[in-house]
Amino acid sequence: MTVKHILHVVGARPNFMKIAPIMRVMAKWPDEFAQKLIHTGQHYDAAMSQVFFDELDLPRPDVNLEVGSGSHAQQTAQIMQKFEPILLEAKPDWILVPGDVNSTLACALVAVKLGIRVAHVEAGLRSFDRTMPEEINRLVTDQISDLLFTPSQDGNENLLREGIKPEKIHFVGNVMIDTLVQLLPKAQERWFQLRDRWALHAAVDNYVLATLHRPANVDDPKTLQELLLALTEIAQKLPIIFPVHPRTRKRISDYGLIPSSAQLQFIDPLGYLDFLALQLHARFVLTDSGGVQEETTYLGIPCLTIRPNTERPITVTHGSNQLIASSRAAIIDAAETILGKPRSTEIRRPPLWDGYAAERIVQYFRAMD
């Protein structure tokens, strides 16, 4: 049997959770797969990157392109320039690109132009909002990829509507949930330490977890002020734990919007396990993150997503997610609705969000000639 040479690309935190289970499953067949891991360095500081490699048990990258920050054009161009010689030397049979960040699109473009086959993990997601850079990344990557692994049936429908050949499309489920299922016991072990660290003894299952980082929410001072006013008001009723993304922290400081509430705790970004543990015990989560919408859906935790749209509509139709406007009034109204109802024990999980998506992906590669 010919060994398949696979090159995995990661660039930002959500990519790590999607690639880790695939690499772990492929490692079960060392006679069939030779794997390499390339980190573009799109997320480059330890708080946003290194801790995830440690917690997910990802091998150290074979190459780190160390691209760092920059405009979308600068970052994409740098990744392409630095990735091309890696591909020319490695000559893989396939590259796997997960998600929708600049690294996803840049590396897929380079590979396709060199005649190297591309598999897109988490294909077919659409927000139908082309003002989002991620939407452009998703659309283009799906058009040029050879294999498209979708996390939900709406992904298949989107791809077929866009003219993708059906034989390229494979519904495998959500590979991020594989990571969640594997690490949930470890996350639960951390809860008591976290509870003590942030004095949540009296607030078990009765605090709010918040995350905000999207430019539409944090780059405009009026919008950011509305969001912080909402958090301050909610904090009068429930403690709020707010791991602050570096971008968000800078904007809050630049605009002089630091709120004064003892119950609103600004903390540094968290690793995957700590954040997962805090999600599990939260009364609800307030976010603009795509991955958090998925995780709260699996966990059955109410999630208020501050966005006008989502590329993961299944988290709304089948899960615990709700889209809300980025205004104080809308957030407060939605929060009061959640708090006014008994906590539901019902969990509705989308099909194939079962912890075995990576197994299904690897089986496709094993079946190839």
Distance CA 290, CA 347 (A): 19
The full DSSP string for 216-227 is HHHSSHHHHHHH
List the Cα angle 270/230/198 in 5-degree steps.
35
Task: Tell me whether residue 213 is one of the annotated catalytic residues.
Answer: yes
Catalytic, out of 39, 43, 213, 281? 213
A 10 A CB-CB count for 125 gives 24
- Cα 144 to Cα 136: distance, rounded to the nearest angstrom: 13
Q: What is the DSSP letter of 163?
A: T
Which residues lie across from 305 on neighbouring strands? 287, 323
Residue 353 C-beta-side C-alpha neighbours within 13 Å: 23
Both tokens of 85, joined, read 């010689």
b/e string for 73-97 if b means 16 or more Cβ within 10 A? Answer: eebbebbbebbbebbeebebbbbbb
Q: Which residues are within 8 A (CB) of 342 and not within 5 positions of it... i.e. 6 or more apart?
A: none
Sign of the torsion angle spanned by Cα atoms 103, 105, 106, 111:
positive
**Angle (CA) 157 163 166, round 5°:** 65
Sign of dihedral through CA atoms 165, 139, 75, 308? negative
- The residues carrying an active-site annotation are 213
